[in-house]
């Protein structure tokens, strides 16, 4: 389960005080809560890494697309004999309208390794419609025509729960990239304005309602797994794809956290993550190991005893031992090749960075103490053990593939 635009500061189990998240707090209390999980600062870069287990410098195509030739964890699970489903947000095909040269490019859902898919935004951007009230949802390639007055997240949860029940006696794999809590910031069925107001009104004041409904959706999925007696045979992972929207400000007690989506600050990349596998995870345990989006695929592979495709690289490392309460093979540092161009609608400057629990180093030499300076206002000059460690990390990744960024859009316009 991957929430859309949800920073770590939003959940009560991380100390967040702005929103109600009882189901995810309960998941943390009955499983493992990871305190240092990170994503790319925007959705597509994270999603490509998550589904392929590779850093973006290996297989990045453009924002809102993924190459049709890619292998995903859906393909991997299919070859292992699992029944597979993807439900929620796609946005990997033809992200841009005409006359963009990326029109009609990317991967379609039916090419991604899933037996069933129920998705929003699976084809053209200009016809994607709402993901919330009166949603436009494709059910295995056919647009649903019975959703007037419905709420998109409800449709997704209903379909997931039906898929799980149908396949409860065989191995199954569900990928649930949620539409919540991404803008537009619309009322939910629990909002006071839902009954009589404009259900498509866009106002950040609804973000709290959206977080609460996201939590409710997760709770329904978890309750269904429990109701079917599958909790001891099902590993459930929860993750965020990037930080909270910049229109939103949240609180962790007396600490004010502005949303950091799009930014390489802690608030743009530090996301919630937890795992629950009844009888395997130790209830209420906390893991401080560094986790990256590339780590999910090898974890899923180790959990299920399958193998990734021969001759395809994997940059992640399995955190299954940590889920089991063992030491495992924790990372000494994390790395990001950050370049959402071409296709990104913001003039974000590409870079590379490496960080650990305490420090962050950019390829231009800026070093920050991210514990004391999370908003990166005061670079640290001079040599230090932290600089040496993280420079070694950047150098190691440069040997894998030297930094190369997409300065221009494919039509020749400057990207930033």
- pLDDT (tens digit, 9 = 90+) per residue, 8-40? 999 999 999 999 999 999 999 999 999 999 999
**Predicted confidence (pLDDT) at residue 410 exceeds the cutoff of 80:** no
Q: Give the pLDDT band of residue 314 (cuts 50, 70, 90).
A: very high
Phi/psi of residue 343, nearest 5 degrees: 100, -20
pLDDT digits (tens, 9 = 90+) for 335-368: 999 999 999 989 999 999 999 999 999 999 999 9
Please measure the distance between the N-terminal and C-terminal CA atoms of the chain and give it in whole angstroms.
33
Q: Give the pLDDT band of residue 185 (cuts 50, 70, 90).
A: very high
Q: Answer whether 1's CB lies under 8 Å from 218's CB.
A: yes
Across the strands, what pairs with 34? 273, 287
* CA pair distance 174, 163, nearest whole angstrom: 9
pLDDT digits (tens, 9 = 90+) for 382-395: 999 999 999 999 99
The 3-state secondary structure of the chain reads CEECCCCHHHCHHHCCCCCCCHHHHHHHHHCEEEEEEECCCCHHHHHHHHHHCCCHHHHCCCCCCCCCCCCCHHHHHHHCCCEEEEEEECCCECCCCCCCCCCCCECCHHHCCCCEEEEECCCCHHHCCCCCECCCCEECCEECCCCCCCEHHHHHHHHHHHHHHHCCCCCEEEECECCCCCCCCCCCCCCCCCCCCCCCCCCHHHHHHHHHHHHHHHHHHHHHHHHCCCHHHCCEEEEECCCCCCCCEEEECCEEEECCCCCCCHHHHEEEEEEECCCCCCCCEEEEEEECHHHHHHHHHHHHCCCCCCCCCCCCCCCHHHHCCCCCCCCCCEEEEECCCCCCCCCCCCEEEEECCCEEEECCCCEEECCCCCCCCCCCCCCCHHHHHHHHHHHHHHHHCCCCCCCECCCCCECC
pLDDT at 416: 86
**Predicted confidence (pLDDT) at residue 187 exceeds the cutoff of 80:** yes
């Amino acid at each position: 389960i991957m929430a859309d635009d949800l920073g770590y500061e939003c959940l009560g189990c991380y100390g967040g005080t702005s929103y109600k998240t009882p189901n995810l707090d309960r998941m943390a209390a009955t499983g493992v809560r990871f305190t240092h999980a990170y994503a790319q600062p925007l959705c597509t870069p994270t999603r490509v890494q998550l589904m392929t287990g590779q850093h973006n410098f290996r297989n990045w195509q453009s924002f809102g697309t993924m190459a049709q030739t890619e292998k995903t964890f859906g393909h991997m699970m299919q070859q292992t004999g699992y029944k597979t489903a993807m439900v929620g947000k796609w946005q990997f095909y033809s992200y841009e309208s005409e006359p963009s040269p990326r029109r009609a490019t990317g991967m379609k859902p039916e090419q991604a390794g899933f037996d069933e898919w129920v998705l929003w935004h699976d084809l053209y951007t200009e016809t994607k419609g709402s993901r919330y009230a009166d949603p436009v949802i494709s059910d295995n390639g056919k647009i649903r025509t019975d959703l007037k007055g419905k709420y998109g997240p409800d449709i997704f949860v209903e379909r997931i729960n039906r898929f799980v029940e149908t396949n409860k006696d065989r191995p199954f794999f569900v990928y649930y990239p949620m539409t919540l809590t991404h803008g537009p910031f619309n009322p939910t069925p629990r909002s006071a304005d839902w009954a009589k107001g404009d259900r498509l009104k866009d106002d950040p004041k609804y973000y709290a309602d959206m977080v609460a409904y996201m939590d409710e959706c997760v709770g329904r999925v978890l309750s269904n797994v429990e109701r079917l007696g599958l909790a001891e045979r099902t590993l459930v992972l929860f993750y965020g794809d990037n930080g909270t929207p910049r229109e939103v400000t949240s609180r962790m007690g007396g600490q004010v956290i502005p949303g950091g989506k799009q930014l390489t600050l802690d608030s743009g990349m530090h996301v919630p993550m937890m795992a629950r596998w009844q009888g395997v995870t130790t209830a209420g345990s906390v893991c401080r190991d560094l986790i990256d989006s590339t780590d999910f695929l090898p974890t899923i592979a180790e959990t299920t005893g399958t193998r990734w495709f021969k001759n395809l690289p994997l940059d992640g490392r399995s955190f299954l031992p940590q889920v089991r309460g063992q030491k495992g093979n924790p990372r000494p540092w994390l790395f990001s090749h950050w370049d959402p161009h071409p296709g990104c609608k913001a003039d974000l400057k590409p870079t590379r960075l490496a960080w650990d629990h305490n420090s962050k180093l950019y390829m231009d030499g800026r070093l920050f103490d991210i514990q004391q300076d999370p908003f990166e206002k005061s670079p640290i000059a001079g040599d230090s053990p932290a600089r040496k460690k993280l420079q070694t990390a950047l150098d190691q990744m440069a040997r894998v593939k030297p930094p190369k960024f997409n300065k221009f859009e494919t039509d020749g316009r400057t990207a930033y």
